[in-house]
Amino acid sequence: MATNGTEFESVRTVSVVRHYKLGRSLIPAVDGVSLAAGRGEFIALLGASGSGKSTLLNLIAGLDRPDSGAIVVEGSDLATMTSEQLAQYRRHTVGMVFQSFNLVPTMTLYENVELPMRFAEVKRKERRARVTEALEKVGLSDRMKHRPSEMSGGEQQRAALARALANRPKLLLADEPTGNLDSKTGTEIMDLIRELNRTLEMTVIMVTHERSLAERYANRLVFLGDGKLVGESINELEKIGAGR
Amino acid sequence: MRAYDLIELAGRNLREAGLRNSLTTLGIGVGVASLVAMLSLGIGLQKLATRQLGRSGLFDTVVVTSRQDSRGPRFAQAAPVTAQIKPLDDVARHNFEQMANVAEVYPNFSAVGDVRLETDKTGNHFTVVGTLPQSARTSEAFDDVQGSFFSSGTAEEAIILGDFGRDLLNLPREPRGTDVKLTSDQASQLLGKYIVLRYHKREAGESAPLAGKTTKKGEADPDDVDSADGVKAEDAQSFNLVPKTLKLKIVGIVSSEPNRGLRQGRTPMFLPLALAESLDMVQAGELWSTLRPSENKTYIALIVRVAKSKAVSQVEDEIRKQGFSTFSILDASKGITRFFTFLDLFLGIFGSLALAVASLGIVNTLVMAILERRREIGIMKALGASDGDVKRIFFVEAGSMGILGGALGAGLGWAIGRAINFATNIYLQRQDIRPENFWVVPVWLVAAALGFSVFVSMFAGLYPASRAAKLDPVQALRHD
């Protein structure tokens, strides 16, 4: 395990706190979580709904800011970044997939995958090559001109994965990626994520409430409850590479 | 984000909600059209007014007379000329010419004579003859000249008014005071042809009793000696009147009087200024002034043309200081300019109201779009769009609606103007009034309307854009 040496470290959170205001009271969604992920590691965040796992993921994604604590990704602290720097960080360092896929319904598959590269100001010629490459990786090369509504759930999630890969991020964040899929396509997606994790050496942090899924794919399981870290277990089975 | 990506994304967003955005754009178009229509009416009316006045040459003209003359002919002899009163002679003329901002100085020349076409032995037309300086070439009256201007200041040529042309051709008269443009057929019967002018030359008198009957070219008939001759003959001291004839080539026909200025009455025929001065024609209104003993040649009035109308009052003051009487209608022009500024302002505000309402349409449409595209904005932010990127997309959308609406509106406004011009002119023609363009849409107005429309649209997009940029991606992406 490589969680201590900084050169192997991808993500580290230090006593991260994030409250939400509900009327007059403050609800601590994430309450002092310290967590580290090594480069190329596959971590599953587990917990009941409301345990703060999605909030933590959004914080690591740079979509939200912590009220206190630090989130250091690839050497820089997100908590001190300007909103423009955060946008850049999301653009270049992170790829995200969601439970509800979140493809833009009015865009074709090609355009959806191309979208993050527009923000990253990638040249048109290069974009074409990268879209093709990403779609090949997820096996959707022949559906470029289709709109999301013309694709199955599994295909949509694969498209979302291709989009997450477009800017070649070091970190893949997945929020219940199989939540809207049947178990067979869910397995396909998870296989794909693990493959990306291994071949591209991408760090993966995945939020899920399905323990079995986590045990099957993740190196490490992290348990959250009421915004706090309540347990951690290293997946021995996965570690010896007998995932299936 | 690169500009073309920005435009492409904004463009596809606009297309996505096509109907709504088209309606909003149409609203902007109507707003711009009303603005353009209102302002072009104002501009058109102003042009119409200033064209009439500008053609008249009133606003850059100062008429200078001697103070001596202003007392009237009867006093001229009774009261001896005092030292302070300066004669309006060539010295004064030269002085005026040297002043700053003075474009030219020329005498107010008006003589009378009989005119007929060379080929038409019978039809004599008694007429007033005026002169034009070479600078009159740029007068608006020459915008639609048939033929040309004088070839030189001393050329034996004439420019005539259209309705006088009809007289020469013995055609029936048009209603008085209307500008007549001859058909090209009629014009070709006159242009390049010669007319014969009979006039009276003023010759220094050597106490010859009656010079009226001496003709040099044998063209004049006995009727030539009019009453003026009779009066003059009694005062044999000053000068004699010698009837003369002169052949002039018609080089140009205009429909309205060039350099009308403060000229009185109607002058249907013009000679080059230098030629007319060399002819020493007896001028109308000159009789009394020439009865006065005077060694030098004096002018009844000099026309001082000022280079820019702003300098009129300054030039007027200077001339007055030199001891002459002046007249201009500067104050009238000031009032007219002020009136049209207010009219334009008023019409502009009126026209802008519709545009203001239309800009609310933009705000409405874009705020709706934010609600609708909430999730999409969240996605874009998650994929790395900065607040600025989101803001710019909405801004470009608002701006595009502004450009399209502005172009549409400018076109529409222009079309409305054309239609109204067309309709009013049909009416005017029925009333036998010369058609005019009340509606003028200058290029700058189109450009300004476009720019203004884009500006207003962008301004309207300000609030929606910043609201979209501030959208919290976590909230937007929360699955419902």
Q: pLDDT tens for residues B396-444?
A: 999 999 999 999 998 898 888 888 888 888 888 887 766 677 777 888 8
Give the pLDDT score at A147.
94
Band (pLDDT 50/70/90 cuts) for residue B228 is very low
pLDDT tens-place string over residues B14-40: 888 889 999 999 999 999 998 888 888
Q: Residue B271 contacts by C-beta under 8 Å, 6 or more apart in sequence?
A: B129, B130, B131, B132, B157, B158, B248, B279
Residues of B in contact with A98 (CB under 8 A): 477, 479
Q: Average pLDDT over chain A, rounded to whole?
A: 89
Kindly list the structural domains of chain B, giving each domain's residue range(s) and its CATH number in brackets, ordered by start. 3-54+335-477 (no CATH), 60-107+301-328 (3.30.70), 110-282 (no CATH)
Give the pLDDT score at A7.
61
- Is the Cβ–Cβ distance between B187 and B267 less than 8 Å? no
* Residue B214 backbone phi and psi in degrees, to 5: -75, 115
In whole angstroms, give the CA distance from residue A106 to residue A128: 19
pLDDT above 70 for B82:
no
Chosen from A85, A118, A171 to mutate, greatest number of chain B CBs within 10 A: A118
Residues of B in contact with A63 (CB under 8 A): 381-382, 473-474, 477
- Provide residues of A within 8 Å CB-CB of chain B: 58, 61, 63-64, 83-84, 87-88, 90-92, 96, 98-100, 102-104, 106-107, 115-116, 118-121, 163, 167
Give the pLDDT score at A244.
43
- Provide residues of B within 8 Å CB-CB of chain A: 1-2, 5, 9, 12, 16, 375-376, 378-389, 473-474, 477, 479
Q: Do B387 and A87 touch (CB under 8 A)?
A: yes
Band (pLDDT 50/70/90 cuts) for residue B291 is low
Band (pLDDT 50/70/90 cuts) for residue B208 is very low
Q: Residue B141 contacts by C-beta under 8 Å, 6 or more apart in sequence?
A: B55, B254, B255, B256, B257, B258, B259
pLDDT above 60 for B235:
no
Give the pLDDT score at B217.
43
Q: Do B385 and A121 touch (CB under 8 A)?
A: no
pLDDT above 60 for B211:
no
Residues B421-435 as b or e (16 or more Cβ within 10 Å = b): beebbeeeeeeeeee
Of A231, A241, A230, A227, give the one whose Cα is nearest residue A29. Answer: A227
Place of tokens 């608006």: B140
Give the pLDDT score at A105.
92
Looking at residue B443, the DSSP 8-state letter turns out to be H
pLDDT above 70 for B213:
no
In whole angstroms, give the CA distance from residue B258 to residue B130: 10
Give the pLDDT score at A217.
92
Q: Do A102 and B385 touch (CB under 8 A)?
A: no
The nearest CA of chain B is from the CA of A229 a distance in Å of 22
pLDDT tens-place string over residues A65-123: 999 999 999 888 998 999 999 999 999 999 999 999 999 999 999 999 999 999 999 99
Give the pLDDT score at B404.
93
Q: How far apart are the first and last CA of chain B?
A: 30
Residue of A96, A119, A167 with shortest CB distance to B1: A119
Can you give the pTM of this predicted structure? Answer: 0.66
Give, to the nearest 10 degrees, the angle between helix A153-165 and helix A124-137: 130
Of B52-56, B350-354, B423-427, give the lowest mean pLDDT range: B52-56
Band (pLDDT 50/70/90 cuts) for residue B285 is low
How would you write chain A as a 3-class SS string? CCCCCHHHEEEEEEEEEEEEEECCEEEEEEEEEEEEEECCCEEEEECCCCCCHHHHHHHHHCCCCCCEEEEEECCEEHHHCCHHHHHHHHHHCEEEECCCCCCCCCCCHHHHHHHHHHHCCCCHHHHHHHHHHHHHHCCCHHHCCCCHHHCCHHHHHHHHHHHHHCCCCCEEEEECCCCCCCHHHHHHHHHHHHHHHHHCCCEEEEEECCHHHHHHHCCEEEEEECCEEEEEEECHHHHCCCCC
Of B62-66, B203-207, B441-445, B473-477, give the lowest mean pLDDT range: B203-207
In whole angstroms, give the CA distance from residue B115 to residue B408: 57
Higher pLDDT, B70 or B343: B343
pLDDT tens-place string over residues A42-68: 999 999 888 889 999 999 999 999 999
Band (pLDDT 50/70/90 cuts) for residue B479 is low
Q: Among A202-206, B111-115, B254-258, name the most confident range.
A: A202-206
Give the pLDDT score at B126.
84
Residue of B379, B384, B387 with shortest CB distance to A83: B387
Give the pLDDT score at A192.
92
Band (pLDDT 50/70/90 cuts) for residue B212 is very low
Of A201-215, B141-155, B206-220, give the lowest mean pLDDT range: B206-220
Give the pLDDT score at B224.
45
pLDDT above 80 for B356:
yes
Residues of B in contact with A107 (CB under 8 A): 12
Q: Do B383 and A116 touch (CB under 8 A)?
A: yes
Chosen from A115, A121, A125, A157 to mutate, greatest number of chain B CBs within 10 A: A115
Pairing of strands A171-175, A94-97: parallel
Give the pLDDT score at B221.
45
Give the pLDDT score at B81.
47
- Show the CA angle centred on residue B197, arms to residues B191 and B198, nearest 5°: 170
In whole angstroms, give the CA distance from residue B26 to residue A101: 37
Residues A206-237 as b or e (16 or more Cβ within 10 Å = b): bbbbbeebbbbbbbbbbbbeebebeeeeebee
Of B249, B256, B258, B55, give the one whose Cα is nearest residue B137. Answer: B258
**Does an H or E element contain B379, and which?**
helix B374-382
Band (pLDDT 50/70/90 cuts) for residue B180 is confident
Residue of A83, A102, A121 with shortest CB distance to B379: A102
Give the pLDDT score at A3.
42
- Show the CA angle centred on residue B410, arms to residues B409 and B412, nearest 5°: 60
* Residue A9 backbone phi and psi in degrees, to 5: -90, 135
**Does an H or E element contain B48, and which?**
helix B18-56
pLDDT tens-place string over residues A128-187: 999 999 999 899 999 999 999 999 999 999 999 999 998 889 999 999 999 989 989 999
3-class SS of residue B191: coil
Q: Do A90 and B9 touch (CB under 8 A)?
A: no
Q: Average pLDDT over chain B, rounded to whole?
A: 79
The nearest CA of chain A is from the CA of B389 a distance in Å of 8
Higher pLDDT, B240 or B22: B22
Give the pLDDT score at B188.
86
Give the pLDDT score at A4.
45
Band (pLDDT 50/70/90 cuts) for residue B165 is confident
